Amino acid sequence: MSRIGKRPVELPSGVTASVSGQTVEVKGPKGARSFTATDDVTIAVEDSAVTVTPRGSSKRARQQWGMSRTMVANLVQGVTDGFKRELEIQGVGYRAQMQGNTLKLNLGYSHEVNFDVPQGVTVTCPKQTEIVVEGTDQQLVGQVAANIREWRAPEPYKGKGIRYKGEYIFRKEGKKK
């Protein structure tokens, strides 16, 4: 029995869900999102909740049960609150700024890094050393944040680079004479 899968996904006020075949579409104040489940689960909208049940007791059906329920819950959270990843930049002269739909990063290279922000995600820079990535799709928000971080991942000796807010970087001791 899946502990996650057996709990229904509650729909807050202002959010509607509809099921057609194996596709769930959720509409809310921040937009509409959809997810297509596999044939191993059955999805139903009852009262103001979405329930996911497995078809059969095969291992794959049980695996898809919890995953499908979590995907529906992420759709609901995305259209109500949205998802957010915050990045910090540390290093002398390292800075970021938005210019139109392009994030311009100075990361100690001989050139400026231009990162084009994909559709469905908004990137803001409240300070020169902070980047906030927001959107309704959790996977896309996380991927964009990871792509930005990839330009200069934090290094363990001085701690310079782009890190997630609150991320701990294990520091190493340098060479001794």
Assign a CATH topology to domain 83-164.
Outer Surface Protein A; domain 3 (3.90.930)
Query: What is the three-class DSSP state of 4?
Result: coil
Q: Which residue has the tokens 């996380």?
A: 142
Say if CB 171 and CB 156 are below 8 A apart: yes
Looking at domain 9-80, its CATH class is: alpha beta
For range 125-150, the mean pLDDT:
95
pLDDT at 17 over 80: yes
b/e code 22-33 from CB counts within 10 Å (16+ = b): eebebbbebeeb
Q: Using a pLDDT cut of 90, give the percent of the chain over it.
A: 85
For range 103-112, the mean pLDDT: 93
Q: Within the chain, which residue ranges are assigned CATH 3.90.930.12?
A: 9-80, 83-164
